[in-house]
Amino acid sequence: MSTIQINSQHRGNLDLADIQNIKSSAKEGDTVKFGSVFGKEYSVTKNSDGDVTLKQKENRSFFNRFFSKADSSKNGDLKLNQMNQQLHKKEGSGNVKVLTLTYNQANQKMPEDTKNYFQNLIQKGDYDVVLFAEQESKLLANDLELDGMNLLSQNKMKVMTKGLGEGVSYTSMSVFAKDGVDINVKKESEYRHGIGGRNMEFFMGITGNKGGVKTALEINGQALNVISAHLDSNKEVKREFEGNKLMEGSKPHEEVLITGDLNEREKRTAQGSDVMYDPVAHDDTHLAKHGFKFNPLNSHTYMQLDKHTGNIKQKEGRDRPDFGELDNTGLTNKTGNLQNHETSVITEGFDNVSDHKPVQSTFEVRGSSQKLIENAQTHTAEDFKNEAAYLNPGTDPAKATFDDVTSANQARLGLENLSSDEQAFVKENFTSFIIGKDAIFSQLTNGFMEEMRQLHTANLTTGQLQTQQIELTEKYEQLNRKVNAQFNQQFIANL
């Protein structure tokens, strides 16, 4: 048995070189150690397919027992789950099905049947990724036992929402994923606004009660920033300020999901009118300028009634009555990679001790290869560039046959993996086949060059640049193999 030493301390997000080192060097029973003398140690198991899994060893040293925090083992488990997710094969090339749950729990400890309800809701849906956003929460996600899903991230911040007597709660975003799903956790951050009635920073590390936490993910190669937000209750100008802060740093190729208690009560259609509408679903809030789209909800999520009159309250200092669809989930979709977005309010089936109703939302992240293929299917002979030199110079792609393919490229079309009947079908329909292949090559080349340009304009050290260049090259090599094999299979599906 040997020990593989990894110098990096960042176990939650391994460098590409570390992943390659562990995959190639680790043997059953070996130890992987991070950092220096007091670094964490992990035992190695390796299955028949060569997949490496790490398990944290118990550190019995006095130093570790004395100085470790109470939640250090749970934090270590999260980093371990992230680490194993990166080490395992990304099995699927299709769409990733995502469930988002958001729930303002009003500082209440959820009953057992509520925990069981959410656990069953997640398990029966066959979701690949689950995003559980909580506000005014005691971290219900901690109590969920999800078979076959890893908790990859729990981005959280303590908040004081009702004053010290009510205790401390959290705004959080928990990310669960099935093993083998193409997902990476890239970064976690937060933004706080306000002091929550009193500033308990000195005593309990609490700096406010409004704002949100943001987790940067990559799913199927698509950058997706997911935000669990709890925005200001009183003024739209404050909600806009908080929303702007949470959206800072978003890049053009990144999509964003925002979910949570957005605190947008219903508006009147006109001054003095009794007719109300949901401003979020009608693109009538500060969130619209960021490109978010929200689905109309099937129910309100919040309502406060005056005990004496029975009418809807309007608290002093608030711009609207206490009623509406305060909780919702919105998506940007600049790339077109997110689809089938559906949202609904959960109104029954469990004991709801909160004054808010939870909201569930589902959508799919398209496989990166599928989008390339769909784009390629729209290309014509006029779009043909021959950048990969598939065809001999001067060949008209509209009349091309397999005999016109350069000798160097005949073995690169993937036909050797097809049956004789399938190969014959490709050759009979060779014009559309080679035009599609050319379109895929052009898209991959353009994507690689654009991302490489972004790396060179980023503020990176020489070492960081080299590492990310290697990672980018490997990403596109894998994508090239995947998309071309998938294109061939879909092409012969017409046989």
Q: In this structure, are 268 and 293 located in the same domain?
A: yes
pTM of the model: 0.79
Q: In this structure, are 299 and 153 located in the same domain?
A: yes
366, 392, 413 — which closes off a domain?
A: 366
**Cα 23 from Cα 26, distance rounded (Å):** 6
C-alpha dist (Å) from residue 283 to 69, 330, 341, 369, 493: 45, 11, 16, 32, 42
Q: In this structure, are 296 and 413 located in the same domain?
A: no
**Cα 150 from Cα 257, distance rounded (Å):** 21
Residues of the chain with pLDDT under 50: 70, 196-197
**Cα 41 from Cα 4, distance rounded (Å):** 10
Q: In this structure, are 270 and 135 located in the same domain?
A: yes
Mark residue 141 as left, alpha or beta (left: phi above 0; alpha: psi -120 to 50; beta: remaining). Answer: alpha
Token pair for 127: 């979701």
Q: In this structure, are 142 and 242 located in the same domain?
A: yes
366, 400, 424 — which closes off a domain?
A: 366
Q: In this structure, are 374 and 348 located in the same domain?
A: no
Letter string b/e over residues 329-346, b meaning 16 or more CB atoms within 10 A of that residue's CB: bbbbeebebbeebebebb
Q: In this structure, are 351 and 411 located in the same domain?
A: no
Quick one: pLDDT at residue 195? Answer: 60
**Cα 101 from Cα 356, distance rounded (Å):** 13
Q: CATH number for the domain including 345?
A: 3.60.10.10
Q: Are 31 and 4 in contact (CB under 8 A)?
A: yes
Quick one: pLDDT at residue 206? Answer: 77
Q: In this structure, are 39 and 169 located in the same domain?
A: no
Q: In this structure, are 337 and 378 located in the same domain?
A: no
267-319 pLDDT tens trace: 888 877 778 899 999 999 999 999 999 999 999 999 887 777 877 777 777 77
Q: In this structure, are 414 and 350 located in the same domain?
A: no
Quick one: pLDDT at residue 197? Answer: 45
Q: In this structure, are 108 and 244 located in the same domain?
A: yes
**Cα 427 from Cα 434, distance rounded (Å):** 10
C-alpha dist (Å) from residue 356 to 65, 263, 306, 327, 470: 41, 11, 17, 8, 48
Task: Give the range of the structural domain holding residue 346, as residue numbers without chain letter.
Answer: 94-366
Sequence-ordered list of residues with C-beta below 8 angstroms from that of 140, at least 6 positions apart, any chain: 103, 105, 110, 114, 115, 118, 132, 134
Quick one: pLDDT at residue 80? Answer: 83
Token pair for 159: 């908040």
Dihedral pair phi/psi, residue 65, rounded to 5°: -65, -35
Quick one: pLDDT at residue 204? Answer: 67
Total tally of structural domains belonging to the chain: 3
Token pair for 51: 């997949």
**Cα 101 from Cα 227, distance rounded (Å):** 12
Q: How many CA atoms lie within 13 A of 87 on its CB side?
A: 28
Residue tagged 């002093």 (tokens)? 316
Q: In this structure, are 10 and 122 located in the same domain?
A: no
321, 340, 366 — which closes off a domain?
A: 366
